Amino acid sequence: MSVLVVGSVALDSVETPFGKADDVLGGSATFFAASASHLTKVSVVGVVGSDYPTEKLEPLKKRGVDFSGLEHAEGESFRWRGRYRHDLNSAETLETRLGVFSHFSPKIPEKLRSCPYVFLANIDPRLQLDVLRQVKKPKLVACDTMNFWIQSRRPDIIELLGHVDLMTLNDAEARQLTEKANVVQAAQWIMARGPRHVIIKKGEHGAFMFTEKTIFFAPAFPLESVFDPTGAGDSFAGGFIGYLAATGDLSEANMRRAVVMGSVMGSFAVEKFSIERLMTLTRAEIDQRVKEMRKLVTFEEEIPA
Amino acid sequence: MSVLVVGSVALDSVETPFGKADDVLGGSATFFAASASHLTKVSVVGVVGSDYPTEKLEPLKKRGVDFSGLEHAEGESFRWRGRYRHDLNSAETLETRLGVFSHFSPKIPEKLRSCPYVFLANIDPRLQLDVLRQVKKPKLVACDTMNFWIQSRRPDIIELLGHVDLMTLNDAEARQLTEKANVVQAAQWIMARGPRHVIIKKGEHGAFMFTEKTIFFAPAFPLESVFDPTGAGDSFAGGFIGYLAATGDLSEANMRRAVVMGSVMGSFAVEKFSIERLMTLTRAEIDQRVKEMRKLVTFEEEIPA
């Protein structure tokens, strides 16, 4: 089944201890689509400016990503410039130029309104709500958000929670949104306002999936070198939703597998700049890492002490 | 089989967002012993001052902990005073009074020199080396350390690595000791200097066990409320080594179970001040949480997408 993602399509300039990349593909929808394209059909709704090097989207199109919903507006594309220090744990934003993204108002093309899986990537929650008014009873709607919107649009996010099945956000954002220091309590707070599932991403420390009665945890795959963490969370979401859409199975057992797939796709994303690694990735490599993820956490039945 | 732990026996005064405790049992050897006592016989070598309320050790003695190697010296006992803020992630040390601990020179009683399992808790690495000169070919020797010793006694720690089977330390300490930002690389650096196993503890983010060829990860058990993180790492070590000693099995599969037991015991330790929770804990509660740990990470074989 196919997935609709609504989010940013940007140009990133990134500096890490290992190198620099200028004006490379970035944005939440781009990473999501690059990741999910390994699992299912993805359609992107977003906006780019007249300066956007659309030929750079070719590798994604070759992977079957549908950009028919990508709006081309007059003006500058969304640009983000950031830097990671030695520990790679958090990005320092050096510059954000919203450009055409500041007037973005997502219009979902008619043929995409029936997509059964919808991911509302990190954009203004008012726009996320607006997308939900356009789509027709998806099987699963998931949303992400970020600190900026939590600070400026908290009531809208809370309204949004009443209309989504699942929320993904990182641990700092979960704490900020819920004002709970404890992630278990934060997840309960969010679920009490709508979503049946909450995924709290902890970057290099893995991710939790909460339901009313269960908790699942998948570690981040321990890499010997992380090259550029940009887009890891959206690649996680792409792997997660992409897997659900590919299998069409929303059982707890399958959602756990989807979280592992999310973690695996996030781990590939950080091995190179931008979506580079996701573009060379093979299904065999994905399957191999899923196996390694299992080995990483498996312990056999206990021998009574 | 029995375990010998050499470390601090202290009095802690702790302040958390949930309350205060003054002059309660603390110290690495105390937490280790309280935890391991649920699994096997433990003997403590350490020192207390003439002011130490030895009657407070009674609950541990009732659990079979052997304090025959606990030295009673003239002077003040080791005291630590610390505070945790809202997020409980790191302790702020308000005061450390080493007292008799500053002249501690561990003397291993003859009957304890043949203990098959030895844990060198966080003390001066020169003293850790000195303990190893006194014991007789243990089946497993593990050591811990801390930032203070890494800064002041790094060459001694490196010497120690040549004489231990396993090292446990937290992620910040691993980075400090090895000057590697990446934990996989940090673990390899340590293993190249002696230990066949390295456990890198990440507090609320779980723990990795590295061997030359494998990596195992156990999450921290997601608690709805963490009351006082003091002693979590030593309780982890107590659960880990205690389980190995109880089972006498150093296979990879069993060491993985031991890591899970460590994580479980650490999760109980933080539920109350000092060793309170470890003193009321039952085997049934431990087994139940091991089961929950399994549920937390289990995902079934993948359905081909």
Is the C-alpha dihedral spanning B94, B99, B105, B111 positive or negative? negative
**Residue A251, SS3?**
coil
Listing DSSP states for B188-219 in one string gives HHHHTTS-SEEEEE-GGG-EEEE-SS-EEEEP
The pLDDT value recorded for residue A305 is: 47
CB contact under 8 A, B290 and A303: no
Strands B166-170 and B19-26: unpaired
What average pLDDT does chain B have? 95
The pLDDT value recorded for residue A87 is: 72
The pLDDT value recorded for residue A85 is: 84
Of chain A, the percentage scoring pLDDT greater than 70 comes to 98
Contacts of B192 in chain A (CB under 8 A): none
In sequence order, which residues have a C-beta less than 8 Å from that of residue B183 and are 6 or more positions away? A222, B171, B174, B175, B200, B208
CB contact under 8 A, B86 and A184: no
Strands B166-170 and B140-143: parallel
CB of B62 within 8 Å of any CB in chain A? Answer: no
CB of A205 within 8 Å of any CB in chain B? Answer: yes
Burial class (CB in 10 A: 0-12, 13-18, 19+), B138: buried
CB contact under 8 A, A184 and B224: yes
The pLDDT value recorded for residue B301 is: 65
In sequence order, which residues have a C-beta less than 8 Å from that of residue A256 and are 6 or more positions away? A209, A216, A218, B298, B299, B300
Strands A140-143 and A117-120: parallel
> Is the predicted pLDDT of residue B168 greater than 80, yes or no?
yes
In sequence order, which residues have a C-beta less than 8 Å from that of residue B47 and are 6 or more positions away? B9, B70, B71, B72, B73, B78, B100, B101, B104
Mean pLDDT, residues A17-44 taken together: 97
Nearest CA in chain B to A40: B305
CB of B96 within 8 Å of any CB in chain A? Answer: no
* Across A77-91, A126-140, A199-213, A266-280, least confident range: A77-91
Topology adopted by domain B3-297: UDP-N-acetylmuramoyl-L-alanine:D-glutamate ligase (3.40.1190)
Going by C-alpha positions, the residue among A183, A191, A188 that lies closest to residue A161 is A191
Choose the closest CB to B208 out of A87, A214, A222.
A222
Q: What is the CATH number of domain A3-296?
A: 3.40.1190.20
In A, residues 21-40, which contact B (CB 8 Å cutoff)? 39-40
Are the C-beta atoms of residues A47 and A70 closer than 8 Å to each other? Answer: yes
Q: Which amino acid is at B232?
A: A
What average pLDDT does chain A have? 95
Question: How many Å lie between the alpha carbon of A270 and the closest alpha carbon of chain B?
Answer: 14
Are the C-beta atoms of residues A49 and A73 closer than 8 Å to each other? Answer: yes
The token pair at A264 is 């695996």
Q: At what angle do helices A252-269 and A283-297 cross, to 10 degrees?
A: 110
In B, residues 254-273, which contact A (CB 8 Å cutoff)? 254, 256-257, 259-260
The residue length of chain B stands at 305
In B, residues 115-134, which contact A (CB 8 Å cutoff)? none
Q: What is the pLDDT of residues A283-296, one digit of tens each?
A: 999 999 999 999 99
Question: How many Å lie between the alpha carbon of A253 and the closest alpha carbon of chain B?
Answer: 7
Q: What is the pLDDT of residues A83-134, one digit of tens each?
A: 998 777 778 899 999 999 999 999 999 999 999 999 999 999 999 999 999 9
What is the ipTM for the molecules in this complex? Answer: 0.90
> Is the predicted pLDDT of residue B174 greater than 70, yes or no?
yes
Mean pLDDT, residues A213-238 taken together: 96
Q: What is the pLDDT of residues B230-257, one digit of tens each?
A: 999 999 999 999 999 999 999 999 999 9
Are the C-beta atoms of residues A68 and A43 closer than 8 Å to each other? Answer: yes
The token pair at B90 is 């790191």
Choose the closest CB to B296 out of A205, A216, A290.
A216
Going by C-alpha positions, the residue among B40, B49, B58 that lies closest to residue B103 is B49
The token pair at B211 is 């061997």
CB contact under 8 A, B87 and A181: yes
pTM for this prediction: 0.94
The pLDDT value recorded for residue B72 is: 97
How far apart are the C-alpha atoms of B67 and A265, rounded to whole Å?
Answer: 52
Q: What is the pLDDT of residues B90-117, one digit of tens each?
A: 788 999 999 999 999 999 999 999 999 9
The pLDDT value recorded for residue B270 is: 96
The token pair at B243 is 């389980």
How many residue contacts between A and B have a Cβ separation below 8 Å? 106
How far apart are the C-alpha atoms of A199 and A258, rounded to whole Å?
Answer: 11
In B, residues 156-185, which contact A (CB 8 Å cutoff)? 181-185
Contacts of B184 in chain A (CB under 8 A): 222-224
Task: Report the half-sphere exposure of B107 (CA within 13 A, side-chain side).
Answer: 9
Mean pLDDT, residues B277-303 taken together: 91
CB contact under 8 A, B183 and A222: yes
Q: Which amino acid is at B211?
A: T
The pLDDT value recorded for residue A302 is: 58
CB of B196 within 8 Å of any CB in chain A? Answer: no
With cut-offs at 50, 70 and 90, classify the pLDDT of residue A301: low
Question: How many Å lie between the alpha carbon of A207 and the closest alpha carbon of chain B?
Answer: 10
Contacts of B253 in chain A (CB under 8 A): 299-300
Q: What is the pLDDT of residues B28-63, one digit of tens each?
A: 999 999 999 999 999 999 999 999 999 999 999 999
Q: What is the pLDDT of residues A143-195, one digit of tens each?
A: 999 999 999 999 999 999 999 999 999 999 999 999 999 999 999 999 999 99
Q: Which of A185, A208, A217, A228 to mutate to test the interface with B (most CBs of B within 10 A)?
A: A217
With cut-offs at 50, 70 and 90, classify the pLDDT of residue B84: very high
